Chains A and B, each alone.
Chain A
Amino acid sequence: MKELICISCPRGCHLKVDEKTLEVTGNSCPRGKIYGISEVTNPVRIITSTVKISGASSPRVSVKTDKPIAKNKMFEVMKLLDKVELKSPVNIGDIVLSNILGTDVNIVVTKKM
């Protein structure tokens, strides 16, 4: 049994999810059930960070994964970002790394610099 706080809306229901039967209790609406199941089967997150940039007004430019990626890959993603070095100009949406860690997720720039 896993205990979670639902983040689908501000109400923050305290969910209990059975990891084997995927039964969700404590939710007040169907969205809580969906959230509860996805959190125990395949929790994903958007990762945001910064990478090096030269020739711009500051030494870092912000980036993100363009899709949510498995939660347990977060630190591997951070390692990949360590090696990236960009040159100004860059624009929002520019792909920095594509199909990272064998997924269809790309790292994209989020700041025009």
Chain B
Amino acid sequence: MIERELVIIGGGPAGLSAAYGAYQNGVKDILIIERDSRLGGILNQCIHNGFGLHKFKEELTGPEYAQRYIDLIQQTDVEVKSDTMVLDLTKDKIIHCISSEDGYQTIKAKAIILAMGCRERTRGAICIPGSRCAGIYTAGAAQKYCNIDGYLVGKKVVILGSGDIGLIMARRMVLEGATVAADVELCPYSNGLNRNVVQCLNDFNIPLYLSHTVTDIVSDEKNGRVSKVIISKVDENRKPIPGTETEIECDTLLLSVGLIPENELSQNAEIEIDPRTKGPIVYDNLETSVEGIFACGNVLHVHDLVDFVSLEAEKAGKKVAEYLNEGEKYATLIKVENREQVGYTVPQYIRKVNLDNDTVQISFRVRSPMKNKRIVLESEGKEIASFPRLHLAPSEMENIKIKKSKLRDVAVLSVSIKEMQR
């Protein structure tokens, strides 16, 4: 069995940034395992611009953003095994992987960073009724066919869901010569970033049907491909309202209906998963419930900006360096709870160590769009800190920071959204 100090599973934005963070903080023996032949993960097919505004203060395309980190990694001794699939991970930190070059290998690591990212929810995950015909793709699959392989998946398109990938693909398909008849969104608000609604739908006069969903898919019997979809209005409980059905002719339905962290390996290692994020439960140093296994990026919770993935992953790298140098720090825990309007929190637990120096970052999403509110941290009904916000939306992850010295006597820390004070 091969022995390594740090193994990072996944060579996308999280894995690359985590490797760089760990290397910068003194870890010298680092291996990245990537199943694709190329580093950069999903950024390779995200050819649109808008990446890097926070991290590099300029607007980059996905491949350009990835290359910045690939170049940083190539200046280090970090080793990369590409075209290598991790088949299994155990709680004693043994990785089983396979590649055509090295065959089947087992690697024992002192520390592991999970950076496997997420994948798209499919038609099956949201149970759309109707014909099981050809012509139905997730938006990300259509993006890969278009931007990597050079195939346009359809000529007349309906998009279900207004997540960012769906919006980006609406513009992409139109630029490549298709028409996009409609974007249909279940919620009464868009689930993508504002700038994407403006630049991808409004620019091309693509109608956005809010509070609507696809209630039937009809296929052409001759070619076995979708010929139209039926959309219906939904009520406040998001149930279709009978009698509101409208037909839209199309040959393609793209789904942009959410992302799920890819945690099969985490579960094999018996890592505790949070049902709210569908990612591992972590402490404030991004360590999971299994000692020495850390998580960052979209495998931990789905981000909207890659810049925040990089920041989180660099931190995971730094915290792994601390773990490898100083060992595990056992301490009493502060439980972080999500209350009014807050969907989840990462981290879920804060360790009471380094109380004098450490600052904790708490990330979360709100449940609905709001204006002029405050994010409030409380313990036993007593307010500890408050952060005003002009604007809050489920499509935009919130990040707040608090000094650990303020949490000395706290056992349970609750995060909620409250009215502005007069």
Are A59 and B47 closer than 8 Å at their CB atoms? no
Are B148 and A60 closer than 8 Å at their CB atoms? yes
| A48 with B149, Cβ < 8 A, contacts A5-B194, A62-B63, A110-B64 known | no
Are A10 and B67 closer than 8 Å at their CB atoms? no
A31 at the interface (CB under 8 A from B): no
Interface extent on A, as a size class? Answer: 20 to 34
Which among B10-18, B195-203, B240-248, B254-262 touches the partner chain?
B195-203
With a CB–CB cut-off of 8 A, which chain B residues contact A45?
A: 199, 203
| A5 with B61, Cβ < 8 A, contacts A59-B150, A60-B149 known | no
Are A62 and B61 closer than 8 Å at their CB atoms? yes
Are A10 and B175 closer than 8 Å at their CB atoms? no
| A10 with B147, Cβ < 8 A, contacts A5-B202, A110-B64 known | no
| Number of B interface residues in the complex (CB < 8 A) | 31
| A110 with B391, Cβ < 8 A, contacts A7-B195, A48-B61 known | no
A11 at the interface (CB under 8 A from B): yes
Cβ of A48 to closest chain B Cβ, rounded Å? 5
| A46 with B150, Cβ < 8 A, contacts A10-B194, A92-B64, A111-B44 known | no
> Which residues from chain A sit less than 8 Å from chain B, CB to CB?
4-5, 7, 10-12, 28, 45-50, 52, 57-60, 62, 64, 71, 74-75, 78, 92, 110-112
Subset of 17 A-B contacts with CB under 8 Å: A10-B393, A11-B390, A12-B391, A28-B390, A49-B176, A52-B150, A58-B148, A60-B147, A60-B148, A60-B150, A62-B47, A62-B61, A62-B147, A64-B47, A64-B61, A78-B175, A111-B63
> Which residues from chain B sit less than 8 Å from chain A, CB to CB?
37-38, 44, 47-49, 59, 61-64, 67, 146-150, 175-176, 193-195, 197-199, 202-203, 390-391, 393, 396
